Amino acid sequence: MKMIQAAPRKGEARQLRSFRLQRSRATLIRFLLLACCIVTSSAFGKTSPLAPAPDWGWLEGCNGTFSRAEFLQALDHIYAPEGASAGWVEVGESAVRIRTNGDTWVDVPFAESSTIAPGYKRYWRRASELGAAPAGKPLDGLRVAIDPGHLGGDWARMEERFFQLGNTPPVAEGDLTLAVARKLKSALEKYGAIVVLLRKNARPLTRERPKTLLPAAAAEIPTLNNPDKLNRLSELYFYRISEIRARAKLVNEKIRPDVVVCLHFNAEEWSEPQKPVFVPRNHLHALVNGCYGAKELESDDIRADMLSQLYSRVAEEALPLSEVVVETLAEATGLPPYTYFSKNVIRAGSSPYLYARNLLANRLYRAPTLFLEPYVMNSSPVWTRVQLGDYAGLKLVDGDWLPSLVTEYASGVAEGMARYYEQARPKTAK
């Protein structure tokens, strides 16, 4: 489908009434985001905010599950590029030494080249373990959890994933992702998948609220005695950490899916928060878990999460799956790939649309995770299509006949997943 060129309209910048923060508030946010990276120190080492100290018992099950070459490949090219894990993960000749809590080190022996033991216990199944699918049902029996990113509804303003032009319908990412999630669920079910939505409305899964997280926020940064900053930090803890941790608990302990699909919409910076503007750019990318930074790996829980991702060989499924899905979504949307310039990302696989990045959601979900970031919400074509809402069939939009944004997104993902499992599942029953 032809890509719609963004055409910023005169006057939109002036009219766009955004609930994003004023400049002074934006500075505060930047400060608090930095503050969120601060980790708690204890006699047992450091943990990131709201994270329990990790239990490393599972490492025993990793003995002999990776050859040295495989381990180095995963560490250097996906998880900890440019030596980010130095001082925490030391690769020897016959074993890798892993610093667990504080100054405790554990040796995990490598496999002899021809006798790689099965990986440690995982709940998800590879495409190759699903068995052959009946004709026309490439997702038959596949367990899928869909994570509609953010909360939307009454929380959208707090989440800062909300803007509104005059009195027109507002753009709230959490509401858009939920609409896509509902449509994607039925599309995947038609292909035979068993699908669960992590949320069906704008209600948080976490029982915590900014108020209940105030003590945790205050404990994290004892020097932060400005009440406004403290409130803001407790809000971030609520929607950015506690909510995602609650979703991960549901995924890992109850749903235990074969794949998680995280739905998001992208946005670009408003140059001035009090005078936000539309950008001419519109693009697409997907993220697999990886590219941990040296600072992040100082936290015991983050290090444990990274090694758990690595040893479970989740990337071996997540990478090819993400590649096929994001390429299919690119065909459906006509969007060009997004190019990152920041250092917390590396390219992954062979698609220009795919990157590795360490996000809380793709780190905590213990299953292959498709993390999708199509469409720039503050670009004119996307805004125009959001205004049209969801509809059946095609509508003429700026000279092109297009399905609704929600349908285009959902069917692109469903088509991509069908394509991947069609080719990756065994062709005949075992």
Binding-site ranges for Zn ion (CB under 5 A): 149, 264
Helices (H), 101-213: 156-159, 173-190
Measured from the CB atom, is 264 or 313 closer to Zn ion?
Answer: 264
Number of CB atoms found within 10 A of residue 201's CB: 11
Please, what is the minimum distance in Å from the beta carbon of residue 150 to Zn ion? Answer: 6
Instruction: Tell whether the torsion through CA atoms of 155, 410, 419 and 349 is positive or negative.
Output: negative
Please, what is the minimum distance in Å from the beta carbon of residue 267 to Zn ion? Answer: 8
Specify whether the CB–CB gap between 326 and 373 falls below 8 A. Answer: no
> From CA 163, how far away is CA 281, in angstroms rounded?
17
Residue type, 361: A
**Which parts of 77-137 are beta strand (E)?**
89-91, 95-99, 105-109
Measured from the CB atom, is 230 or 326 closer to Zn ion?
Answer: 326
Measured from the CB atom, is 149 or 290 closer to Zn ion?
Answer: 149
Measured from the CB atom, is 177 or 351 closer to Zn ion?
Answer: 177
> From CA 181, how far away is CA 200, in angstroms rounded?
9
Return the residue nearest Zn ion (CB atom): 264
Q: Which long-range contacts (CB under 8 A, 24 or more apart) does 395-401 make?
A: 397/4, 398/4, 398/7, 400/1, 400/2, 400/4
Please, what is the minimum distance in Å from the beta carbon of residue 289 to Zn ion? Answer: 16
Measured from the CB atom, is 240 or 419 closer to Zn ion?
Answer: 240
Please, what is the minimum distance in Å from the beta carbon of residue 149 to Zn ion? Answer: 4
Please, what is the minimum distance in Å from the beta carbon of residue 269 to Zn ion? Answer: 14
Sheet holding 143-148, edge to edge: 194-197, 143-148, 259-263, 369-374, 284-288, 354-357, 345-347
Residues 6+ apart with CB under 8 A from 96: 71, 89, 90, 107, 108, 110
Measured from the CB atom, is 125 or 264 closer to Zn ion?
Answer: 264
Measured from the CB atom, is 183 or 264 closer to Zn ion?
Answer: 264
Measured from the CB atom, is 44 or 340 closer to Zn ion?
Answer: 340
Please, what is the minimum distance in Å from the beta carbon of residue 59 to Zn ion? Answer: 33
Please, what is the minimum distance in Å from the beta carbon of residue 382 to Zn ion? Answer: 13
β partners of residue 381: none
Specify whether the CB–CB gap between 146 and 196 falls below 8 A. Answer: yes
Please, what is the minimum distance in Å from the beta carbon of residue 186 to Zn ion? Answer: 22
Query: What's the burial of 428, exposed, middle or buried (CB within 10 Å: 0-12/13-18/19+)?
Result: exposed
Please, what is the minimum distance in Å from the beta carbon of residue 1 to Zn ion? Answer: 23
Measured from the CB atom, is 47 or 266 closer to Zn ion?
Answer: 266
Sheet holding 105-109, edge to edge: 89-91, 95-99, 105-109
> From CA 259, how far away is CA 262, in angstroms rounded?
10
> From CA 129, how far away is CA 134, in angstroms rounded?
15
Please, what is the minimum distance in Å from the beta carbon of residue 386 to Zn ion? Answer: 15
Tokens 């005059």 label which residue? 166
Measured from the CB atom, is 63 or 344 closer to Zn ion?
Answer: 344
Number of CB atoms found within 10 A of residue 228's CB: 9
